[in-house]
Chain A
Amino acid sequence: MPEVCDTALEVRDLTRTFGVRRALDRVSFDLPRGAFLSIFGPNGAGKTTMVKVLTTLTSPSSGSAKVCGLDVVQDAVELRERIGLISHNPLLYPDLSAEENLLFFAEMYGVDDSTDRVRELLVSVELDHRRLDLVRTFSRGMLQRLSIARALLHRPDVLFLDEPYSGLDPHAMDIFDSLIAQIREDHTFVMISHDLDKGLELCSHALILARGRVVLAAERAAVDSEQFKHTYRATVGLGVA
Chain B
Amino acid sequence: MRQFKAILRKDIVMELRTKEMVTSMGIYAMLTLVIYQVALSQSGAAFDPRRIAAGLLWLAFVFTSMLGLNRSFVHEKDQGCLEALLLSPVDRPVIFLAKAIGNLLFLVIVEIIMIPFFSFLFLQQGSYQGEFWMIPLSLLGGSIGIAGVGTMLATMSVNTKGKDFVLAVLFIPLMYPLLLACVSATTAGVLGGDGHIQQFWTGMAAIGAYDAIMIAAAWALYEFILGA
Which residues in A have some Cβ–Cβ distance to B below 8 Å?
55-59, 77-78, 80-81, 83-85, 87, 89-96, 100, 104-105, 107-110, 150
Contacts and interface: CB of A to CB of B under 8 A. Distances in A.
Contacts of B78: 94
Interface of B: 2-3, 5-7, 10, 13-14, 17-18, 75, 78-81, 83-91, 227
A167 to B, nearest CB: 13
B87 A80 contact: yes
A105 B88 contact: yes
Contacts of B88: 80, 105, 108-109
B80 A90 contact: yes
A78 B91 CA distance: 11
Contacts, number: 74
A81 B79 contact: no
Contacts of A94: 75, 78-79
Contacts of A107: 2-3, 5-6
A92 B18 contact: no
Contacts of B18: 95
Given A59-B227, A107-B2, A150-B84, A93 B89 contact: no
A111 B14 CA distance: 22
Contacts of A77: 89-91
Contacts of A109: 88-89
A128 B213 CA distance: 48
A89 B86 CA distance: 14
Nearest to B17: A95
Contacts of A80: 87-89
Contacts of B89: 77-78, 80-81, 108-110
